[in-house]
Amino acid sequence: MLNLIQGTFVHTPALNKLEILEDYLLGIWDPFGTIKHFAPSNSPESVALLERYTPRIIPRGNFILPTFCDLHLHAPQFLYQGNGLHLPLMQWLNEYAFKAEERMDNDAKLAQKVYTRLAQRLKENGTGAVMLFGTIKEETNLILAKCMNDAGLRAFVGKLSMDQLSSPDYIEESAKASIEAAKSFAFKMQCKYPALPDTVEPVITPRFVPTCSDALLDGLGRYATACGLRIQSHLAESHDQVSAVLTERGVDDIEVFARSSLLTPKTVQAHCTFLDGPSLGRLQATGTAVAHCPLSNAYFSAEPFKLREALDMSVKVGLGTDVAGGYSLSIMDAMRQAVAVSRMRQGANVMNKSSETSLAIDWVEALYLATKGGADALGIESGVFEIGRAFDAQQIALWDQSGGIGPLDFFDEGARISPDIVEKWWCLGDARNRLGMWIQGKERI
Ligand code: GUN
Ligand code: FE
């Protein structure tokens, strides 16, 4: 198998570094989609390859970009996307989230339908890797994993663990039963999707501190550590949730997770809005990543995540949609919201004269978070075009002979892909500009 792709490549190899590589040749020739060749088309190695093989040519007006990573999405809540966001978090969970999950666990056909559509929508939106919260029931999560695998997505699938405080009917029997169920799911997943090139993996998923007893958290932490499994949860998300944990446990969320060994280099914690500098330092020291979900934070959190501070402290950060606490499946929306929120923080900072350093991020930094930042947070070998990394990419089309594509207008057809043009797409582009997608080198749209 040999695949050569020739054209313009755009990526962000570092937080504030945008590279536009014009007329490059990229080559893949193993089943894992590893990039084996990446160099200007006129380099001697490229010329030698082009003498022997025919490349796929990416036309002018198009560029290749890494796929997006969505670090936090509730698959069953896709059913209720865009409903009920007038409520505070703890009430919304009771009235919408738990019900969506219970419905899915009671109806395998519905789960199949919702998860198949979810996978399709993710690809339409350029998401190539996604970390998912599922439901309590094993079979439903196996359906979710299969739908993602059939679509060719990289998917990290979490069976929910919760043994307290949910609605009485939607809960696991005991900490012990919950731990056994988490182990059984992880085992079945590893048997079904044993190794590369499969891209689907289980995730240990204590929902959040309020729905998990200490015994459950301890058991999950021990199991995840023993087996080197991924972990995900919600940390310091909303005011009502943070104060409930303090009242009931006498310590804050991060301390509860730390005591149960749930902050690890394989952990992704959603939100983290209420963490102060020292707590962000704990995330950095343990290698824990943050899924920054700016839209959902605007509804549920009352406070924005300290994104600039986290980045300056080298905390691993990527973006999450938090569907359906966030109503958009699009990581492009999440990028724009991350920038908008950071600019509001900066504005408030200037008004209060509280610090000289800017709290804003710009669009290039947001693009990094959506691609390489997300991939690094997930520990996957994609997010940037480099020899040895996997080719997870999307083809973005800005114009053709008839002019701008989708929502984009006023291009000079002879123009080259410049930072201004990529910025315009970043602000205005949508699914109409996405012509193709590859995951692990295989074409998926
Ligand atoms: N915290 C615990 N569960 C959830 C959930 O389903 N959505 C959000 N946004 N926060 C949570
Ligand atoms: Fe969430």
Backbone angles phi, psi at 160, to 5 degrees: -65, 135
Q: What is the pLDDT of residues 106-145, one digit of tens each?
A: 999 999 999 999 999 999 999 999 999 999 999 999 999 9
Atom of ligand 1 nearest to the CA of 97: 6
Contact residues for 250 (Cβ-Cβ < 8 A; gap 6+)? none
CA of 374 to the centre of ligand 2 (A): 16
Spatial CA neighbour of 166 closest among 134, 207, 133: 207
Q: Which of 92, 207, 327 should be mutated for ligand 1, with most atoms under 8 A from CB?
A: 207
Strand partners, 231: 204, 267
Q: What is the pLDDT of residues 334-387, one digit of tens each?
A: 999 999 999 999 888 777 777 777 899 999 999 999 999 999 999 999 999 999
CA distances from 201 to 87, 337, 380 (A): 33, 29, 12
Q: What is the pLDDT of residues 227-258, one digit of tens each?
A: 999 999 999 999 889 999 999 999 999 999 99
Backbone angles phi, psi at 196, to 5 degrees: -55, 145
> How far apart are alpha carbons 389 and 9 in whole angstroms?
15
Q: Which of 104, 170, 208 should be mutated for ligand 1, with most atoms under 8 A from CB?
A: 208
DSSP 133-173: E--S-HHHHHHHHHHHHHHT-EEEEEEEE--SSS-TTSS-S
Q: What is the mean pLDDT of residues 198-206?
A: 93
3-state secondary structure 169-190: CCCCCCHHHHHHHHHHHHHHHH
Pocket of ligand 1 (CB under 6 A): 74, 89, 93, 97, 207-208, 234, 237, 296, 300, 322, 325
Contact status, residue 388 vs residue 381, Cβ threshold 8 Å: yes
Confirm whether pTM is higher than 0.90.
yes
Q: Which ligand is nearest to the CA of 299?
A: 1
Q: Which ligand is nearest to the CA of 208?
A: 1
CA of 326 to the centre of ligand 1 (A): 10
Q: Which of 74, 81, 133, 232 should be mutated for ligand 1, with most atoms under 8 A from CB?
A: 74
* Residue owning the nearest CA to atom 3 of ligand 1: 207
What residue ranges define each of the domains in the chain, with the CATH number in brackets? 3-66+383-443 (2.30.40.10), 68-378 (3.20.20.140)
Q: What is the pLDDT of residues 390-422, one digit of tens each?
A: 999 999 999 988 889 999 988 776 789 999 999
Environment class of residue 23 by beta-carbon count within 10 Å: exposed (0-12), middle (13-18) or buried (19+)?
middle
Q: Please give the helix or strand (H or E) that residue 223 lies within, else none.
A: helix 214-227
Complex ipTM value:
0.98
**Looking at residue 328, what is its pLDDT?**
98
CA of 293 to the centre of ligand 2 (A): 8
> How far apart are alpha carbons 117 and 399 in whole angstroms?
28
**Looking at residue 31, what is its pLDDT?**
85
Contact status, residue 106 vs residue 122, Cβ threshold 8 Å: no
CA of 131 to the centre of ligand 1 (A): 14
> How far apart are alpha carbons 445 and 442 in whole angstroms?
9
* Residue owning the nearest CA to atom 6 of ligand 1: 97
Question: From the CB of residue 14, how many other CB atoms can be counted at a distance below 10 Å?
Answer: 12
CA of 233 to the centre of ligand 2 (A): 8
Q: Which pair of tokens denotes residue 71?
A: 């670090």
